[in-house]
Amino acid sequence: MEKKIHHLLKTVNALGKVGLLIVENEAELAPKVAGIRQLFMAAGYQEASDYLNLMDLLDNGQTKIFYGEREEKLNSKVLEIISEFEAGMVSLSDQKNHTGLKVSQWNPAKVSLVIILTRQQVEKSYPRLFEYTNITQSI
């Protein structure tokens, strides 16, 4: 598992793209979460807690970011960020704070983003998800 994650991080970081890490067995997710988080943090990645935090990290120049979905499928706002990743800019409504439109800009060539989902979350998510991710790794 560790070797696969390191390979994914190295590739995503070198390309400055969106990577997708799929945990095949959902029952194994809970025991693996701490280890996965530790590997990402050791590699200099910062965790995004939700789509607004992800937008803040991108806007503030963070170059290594990971996001682990906590719901049963990928958040539609996170999907929007992924779909616009190579454009380097996204505008989304701030539904959490009800403050209107939030805009984030970043240099897509210098930022790597990894999304962590279980196989069940992938299957329940949007069919076009794989069109927006560049590198996929299963563990």
Rounded alpha-carbon distances, angstroms, from residue 6 to 29, 121, 122, 137: 18, 22, 21, 11
pLDDT of 58 reads 96
Q: Where are the beta strands (DSSP E) in the chain?
A: 18-23, 46-48, 64-68, 89-93, 101-105, 112-118, 135-138
pLDDT of 135 reads 87
Q: Are 33 and 78 within 8 A, CB to CB?
A: no
In tens, the pLDDT along 105-134 reads: 999 999 999 999 998 999 998 888 888 998
In tens, the pLDDT along 60-91 reads: 999 999 999 989 999 999 999 999 999 999 99
- φ/ψ of residue 46, rounded to 5: -110, 140
Rounded distance between C-alpha atoms, residue 51 and residue 53, angstroms? 5
Rounded distance between C-alpha atoms, residue 71 and residue 39, angstroms? 22
Predicted TM-score (pTM) of the model is 0.91
* CATH numbers and ranges of domains, the chain: 2-138 (3.40.50)
Q: Which residues pair with 22 in a beta bridge?
A: 117, 138
Cα dihedral 10→25→18→12 (10° resolution): 10
pLDDT of 99 reads 78
Rounded distance between C-alpha atoms, residue 134 and residue 100, angstroms? 31
